[in-house]
Chains A and B, each alone.
Chain A
């Protein structure tokens, strides 16, 4: 394919591939080979847009991918199209070559018109002089329709990484009408009874995993909102779970544990609940909220009541990792709530968007001694999933 013989082209496409790989596109040699094949078959030559459409068809796999790819493509400097220096010919080397190849093999007539007249780059911003003749006014619509200006978010975890991790949270359970033949049970029954008997049928397996997300909101969580929202979105649409429910809270899901318990603690500066841990009763007072803006409150007790043996829970919050001020009361409430949560779900973990290196000296360290808390990064997320799948967590002082 001539695209390989024209260095500017090749280099620019290669840059695009590298950029897209950084943007988490799983592009390999196969995908580049597919592009070469498609170009050789005559696709993507008629205009800049058609090349972009071809790349989208081959490499993008969702609307989000499409926007990312288009914005990277718009930033790519391709030779003007069609090339004004060669406009009398069909853009020589570039397009005529595949056409010849195909004609020579005699397998097809190449119908695509290669020269399109008057194709102009859509990325042009029309600059008009302002009414006073001083500063040029750029129409806002043009700025926003210019894809090279579209930012693509980068988070510590990509959509795909979250999706892959949460796929491991499956819980296939036989459920529904019995339609599958259980060969072993049928043979066993037949040999036991010695006469012809009806075959044993079992229901088909379905994924019954349910996930409860409890998300800390506002205050010190504010810098993490965008990332946490992205994370929840990825879990929701890529987790293939039976049901994902999210509730929001501020600082602690449940408040109002008996403060008198703290009286016996001698050191309030570095709170540690070890001495009274066993005496803290589970706590499900107060409300958590359906909406991220902390509206539509529901009693915590009602939410936990609705959970069953297939439910796992993930708490997302900084657990006080943002402040250095010790707060024994918050720790007490947190521990008391986790005790209640633990009793209602199959497994739970705490994911902390603050990096683990920032935990020491904050409440997060204390909470992590009692509860399976992991940083919200790749390694932490996978370890959290292990716990949710039933691996016992390693805790210094379990609840």
Chain B
């Protein structure tokens, strides 16, 4: 709990969309983490419109040094937020994609005992290190840092990282609890080599900014939840969706309007799989790329034999297909009503 007593107000995430389209950021996932002059790479800007509630939650998590736990429907942009924050702050992002067999230790480091054993068994032919000694003598040769481990080691070199722990509920029950101490104290030990890495206590500005996404498939242990800042990412409101589509270069306002109307009507139905923001962006992007004009789109949606173009990009469950005619009928009524109200 030590690192939590200090508040970090040095870093503030501001959702400024007018930033350059690319910038040079330190390469993540480099092991060992270079103490100085790390390699950099050109990173493309993550298009993301953070509303004030999300911005506040991010800044609160940074200030208090706690992981930000993001919940919300699939495709509402939980993962993208981590990339947007990393880009905006110019920090490398260390990604942990969780599988059902992932253990907490995998996030910190992995120790390749099998290879060390093989090397040790080779005797005289065993690979040597630079000093001419067998590699197997030094356990450090067989240790690979994990994403959270690299972020902590990077902090010891005076550089900050963003850490994304994606879909934590896929892991086993023990996983979040096994991470408590490491997330609390931002330190870890490697018993095999005796090394210990700690984010300096008096440097809250070096604490990794940790995002945890969670699909609500399974509840997380209370002890873990208590240490997180919670934010539920809502499906954005109408004006916001339009802005988001605009930010993703869906240029035609009329196309955006119709696409939003269709997805809103779909979402108002009790579908097995409601289209989220990701589906809307895919669909609108595809309509634009396929050069389907708003006029064509409108006539295809409202014709007597109405159809939903590129249906499978928005309606992803076959069980929902029978509902499409009803949705199209209400889309038609809505578009006609809007057209009537216009002049």
Which residue numbers of A lie inside 8 Å of B, CB to CB? 26, 30-31, 34, 37-38, 40-43, 50, 53-54, 56-58, 60-63, 65-66, 102, 107-108, 111, 159-160, 163-164, 167, 170, 176, 179, 181, 183, 186, 196, 199, 201, 204, 206-207, 237-238, 240
By a CB distance below 8 angstroms, the chain B residues around A163 are: 219
B121 to chain A: closest residue by CB: A196
Number of residue pairs spanning A and B whose beta carbons lie under 8 angstroms apart: 100
Segment 30-80 of B: residues with Cβ below 8 Å from A: 53, 56-57, 59-60, 63-64, 66, 69, 71
A43 and B58 alpha carbons, distance in the complex (Å): 11
By a CB distance below 8 angstroms, the chain B residues around A43 are: 56, 59-60, 63
A31 and B223 alpha carbons, distance in the complex (Å): 12
> Among B7-15, B153-161, B331-339, which stretch is in contact with chain A?
B7-15
Segment 113-134 of B: residues with Cβ below 8 Å from A: 113-114, 117-118, 121
Residue pair A62, B101 in contact (C-beta under 8 Å): no
A38 and B100 alpha carbons, distance in the complex (Å): 35
By a CB distance below 8 angstroms, the chain B residues around A58 are: 60, 229-230
B231 in the interface (beta carbon within 8 A): yes
B26 in the interface (beta carbon within 8 A): no
The secondary structure that dominates the B interface is mixed
Residue pair A199, B117 in contact (C-beta under 8 Å): yes
B250 in the interface (beta carbon within 8 A): no
Residue pair B232, A240 in contact (C-beta under 8 Å): no
CB distance from A125 to the nearest CB of B (A): 23
Residue pair A240, B218 in contact (C-beta under 8 Å): yes
B229 to chain A: closest residue by CB: A57
By a CB distance below 8 angstroms, the chain A residues around B232 are: 63, 66
A31 and B230 alpha carbons, distance in the complex (Å): 13
Residue pair A176, B10 in contact (C-beta under 8 Å): no
By a CB distance below 8 angstroms, the chain B residues around A40 are: 7
A50 and B219 alpha carbons, distance in the complex (Å): 26
By a CB distance below 8 angstroms, the chain A residues around B217 are: 237
By a CB distance below 8 angstroms, the chain B residues around A179 are: 101
Residue pair A204, B9 in contact (C-beta under 8 Å): no
A207 and B103 alpha carbons, distance in the complex (Å): 13
By a CB distance below 8 angstroms, the chain B residues around A30 are: 1, 226
CB distance from B50 to the nearest CB of A (A): 14
5 additional A-B residue pairs with CB within 8 Å, beyond A26-B226, A41-B7, A199-B118: A62-B219, A199-B113, A199-B117, A201-B114, A237-B218
CB distance from B294 to the nearest CB of A (A): 32
Partner of B100, one of A26, A56, A164, A206: A206
By a CB distance below 8 angstroms, the chain A residues around B118 are: 199
Residue pair B56, A181 in contact (C-beta under 8 Å): no
A239 to chain B: closest residue by CB: B218
Residue pair B219, A107 in contact (C-beta under 8 Å): no
With A38-B63, A50-B56, A53-B53: A240-B172 Cβ-Cβ less than 8 Å: yes
A183 to chain B: closest residue by CB: B113
Segment 225-247 of B: residues with Cβ below 8 Å from A: 225-226, 228-232
Residue pair B7, A34 in contact (C-beta under 8 Å): no
A61 and B232 alpha carbons, distance in the complex (Å): 9
With A206-B100, A237-B216: A41-B63 Cβ-Cβ less than 8 Å: yes
